[in-house]
Structure 1
Amino acid sequence: MTLDDGRTLSWYEYGDPTGRPCLFLPGVGTSGRAGITLDAAATADGIRLLSVNRPGLGHSDPAPARRVADWAGDVEQWADHLGLDRFGLIGHSAGAAYALAVAHRLPDRVHGTMVGAGSPPYSEEWTRADGMMSRVSRLYYGLALRAPRLFGALYHLSTPRSVKAVDRLMALATRGTSPDAQFARAYPDETRASLEALADGCRQGSAGPTQDIVLLCRPWGFDLLDVTGPVEWWHGEQDGNVSPRSGREMTSRLPQVTTHFVDGGHYVLFAHAREVMAALRRTSDHGGRD
């Protein structure tokens, strides 16, 4: 579709085409193709999964000089375009920030928000306390914020762009005994699809993914305390990307939240996809009210 400012917004659709609509927002720099990882669970639970490309990712045009909160304006136009009066939200990792932005702006249209391993607002002081971020995460986000061109060049080099490159990353993903490696071995098709979606996010180059990351490190433009609708939060106790301590701090700031801190790694949302869809269906049945 074409937005009011002339930009193109694109998305993928999975699940049940006649089901209850839900907007899925995948992790940082990842295109909407990642929605295929939830296709089977969405189909089984009667969910129409609409996996939207954020600015500069996939086929969506870039949008400079933005905040995370501004994304909700694009979604409002998109929902009007599709005639969606009410819909659910699922956000994974960095996608959780964008999901919460929509829940904040459109409380009367969002019946429930499901979060998996949600990234914190890295501009806030509390995120720099011990145990909130790994050393790798500090380097990753710090480089994106302070040297975006260098970060973009490195991101471009590390993103898989061929079948062989995906194969190499698949081999790395399945090594070891971590929960994420176990997930990759148990769900190879979903893992491969997520890597292909990462490549699709770089369709227009690395500028879009870099901005997607930088926005997480700047003020989001809304306060978590003002996200008043129901949120269900899944987080793996062994998550090496977004620490469980960070997740607990995030959930302590959300007024209406149900938490699920369980055994698992960063992809716990996908490992519990049927439970997530069932929870989403419940919020739809109850109109977003407990």
Structure 2
Amino acid sequence: MDRQTKTVSLSDERTVSYLDCGDPDGDPILYFHGSPGSRYEEWFFDRPARERGYRVIAPDRPEIGRSDYHQNYSLLSYTPDVAEIASEFDFDQFDVVGLSGGGTTALSCTVALPNRVTTVGLVCSWAPVGSEPQLANQRAPLDWVYKRLTALGPIPFVPAFSILGLAAQQLSPETFTVKLLSGSLSNADRRVLSDPDRQRFMTENTRESVRAGARGPARDAYLRYRDWKFDIADVLCPVKIHHGTDDSFAPYAFGEYLHDNTPTSTLYTYSNRGHLDFFTDLNTVLESLDADSTERLD
């Protein structure tokens, strides 16, 4: 995936790294990786995107992977970057797909760029825990710690992500994914991580996230725990929500909340699936983007 990595220069001379996969002449999608995560996740779109006629561009967010630092990075301040990246590829309009923490970015772009984003795919997406008290009891134990740190700003997140990055770099994939993360894994995710290939992918994805250090992914995560500064009810284009019932990283209640609070959403429920199933199985997500229905499925 490093050999396939490309870069684009923005108007302020910052560099953004990205992967480009799928059908080169296909309908455009911008894919937003998890938090922590990287452009590497897009690779699993390649075959289904080619089969369905989509071209997928996956940028690394600020100071993640090979992308440069953004001094005033916030959810909404990032959306001009997305608009500029899309324009570099002559994408006047495009779909967006966000996985886990990337769902937050997908939603922010949809609110800020309503004339350009046509359909939103949310995959085991994060929800606005910073402003919605009813979501508080749904968080995983580690998320309680991060939410408390949010009041102190992004700097306290840096040591936590430094340790995570060091563990990904120094430990074997099996030790890093199965043992270190065991407290956060649902039964479904343990099943996924019984596969050595997926262990390696999750480890490499985390390593790439902290390639430039922990500051970038730390701020990226911090933004998801605080008030997002936009209202998801303002999302008016079709929203396709994909969520597993056995997800402990982003509990199923997050998907239900997003469904209840976006007026044009469809909820696709996956029984006995967790958070990590979707990293390598995105065909159904692309299939849903083709669907015209905005029926509120439960």
Q: Same fold (TM over 0.5)?
A: yes
Contact 2:157 2:219 in 1 (8 A): no
SS at match of 1:115: strand
In the aligned structure 2, how far is the partner of 1:246 from the partner of 1:282?
23
In the aligned structure 2, how far is the partner of 1:154 from the partner of 1:133?
18
Shift of 1:179: 0.6
Q: Deviations over 1:254-279 (max 9, x none)?
A: 01000012211113434652111112
| 1:153 equivalenced with 2:153 (yes/no) | no
Alignment of 1:125-164 (within 5 A): 125-130=132-137, 132-143=138-149, 145-146=151-152, 148-159=154-165, 160-162=167-169, 164=171
| 1:181 equivalenced with 2:213 (yes/no) | no
Contact 2:178 2:190 in 1 (8 A): no
Identify the residue that residue 18 of structure 1 maps to in structure 2.
25
Match of 2:254 among 233, 240, 246: 246
In the aligned structure 1, how far is the partner of 2:178 from the partner of 2:291?
38
Alignment of 1:115-134 (within 5 A): 115-130=122-137, 132-134=138-140
Q: Percent identity?
A: 26
Q: Match of 2:37, as an amino acid?
A: T
In the aligned structure 2, how far is the partner of 1:174 from the partner of 1:198?
12
Alignment of 1:65-144 (within 5 A): 65-130=72-137, 132-143=138-149
Identify the residue that residue 235 of structure 1 maps to in structure 2.
243
SS at match of 2:21: strand
In the aligned structure 2, how far is the partner of 1:21 from the partner of 1:57?
23
In the aligned structure 2, how far is the partner of 1:133 from the partner of 1:171?
20
Q: Which moved more, 1:214-223 or 1:119-128?
A: 119-128
> Runs of 4+ in structure 1 displaced over 4 angstroms?
173-177
Q: Cα distance 1:210–1:251, how it changes in 2: closer, same or farther (>3 A)?
A: same
Q: Match of 1:234, as an amino acid?
A: H
Q: Match of 2:125, as an amino acid?
A: G
5+ residue gaps, structure 2, are: 1-7
Q: Match of 1:30, as an amino acid?
A: G
5+ residue gaps, structure 1, are: none
SS at match of 2:9: coil
Q: Cα distance 1:127–1:37, how it changes in 2: closer, same or farther (>3 A)?
A: farther
In the aligned structure 2, how far is the partner of 1:116 from the partner of 1:165?
28
Shift of 1:167: 4.3
Identify the residue that residue 203 of structure 1 maps to in structure 2.
211
Match of 2:40 among 6, 12, 33: 33
In the aligned structure 2, how far is the partner of 1:174 from the partner of 1:205?
20
Contact 2:168 2:176 in 1 (8 A): no
> With structure 2 as the length reference, what TM-score do the two structures score?
0.85
- What is the count of residue pairs matched by the alignment? 285
In the aligned structure 1, how far is the partner of 2:130 from the partner of 2:171?
37
Q: Which moved more, 1:2-11 or 1:110-119?
A: 2-11
> With structure 1 as the length reference, what TM-score do the two structures score?
0.87
Shift of 1:225: 0.6
Shift of 1:172: 3.6
Q: Deviations over 1:27-53 (max 9, x none)?
A: 102111121133232233222121111
Higher relative contact order (CA 8 A, sep 6+): 1
SS at match of 2:77: helix
Q: Match of 1:202, as an amino acid?
A: V
Shift of 1:142: 2.6
Q: Cα distance 1:242–1:68, how it changes in 2: closer, same or farther (>3 A)?
A: same
SS at match of 2:78: helix
Q: Deviations over 1:83-137 (max 9, x none)?
A: 112221110111000011111122222221111111112320425543x213321
Contact 1:34 1:194 in 2 (8 A): no
Identify the residue that residue 284 of structure 2 maps to in structure 1.
275
| 1:262 equivalenced with 2:270 (yes/no) | yes
Q: Match of 2:206, as an amino acid?
A: L
Q: Match of 2:276, as an amino acid?
A: Y
Contact 2:178 2:193 in 1 (8 A): no
Contact 2:96 2:119 in 1 (8 A): yes
In the aligned structure 2, how far is the partner of 1:125 from the partner of 1:37?
32
| 1:193 equivalenced with 2:204 (yes/no) | no
Q: Deviations over 1:172-217 (max 9, x none)?
A: 489898111222335x434522321221111110000010011112
Identify the residue that residue 5 of structure 2 maps to in structure 1.
none
SS at match of 1:146: coil
Identify the residue that residue 10 of structure 2 maps to in structure 1.
3
Q: Match of 2:290, as an amino acid?
A: R
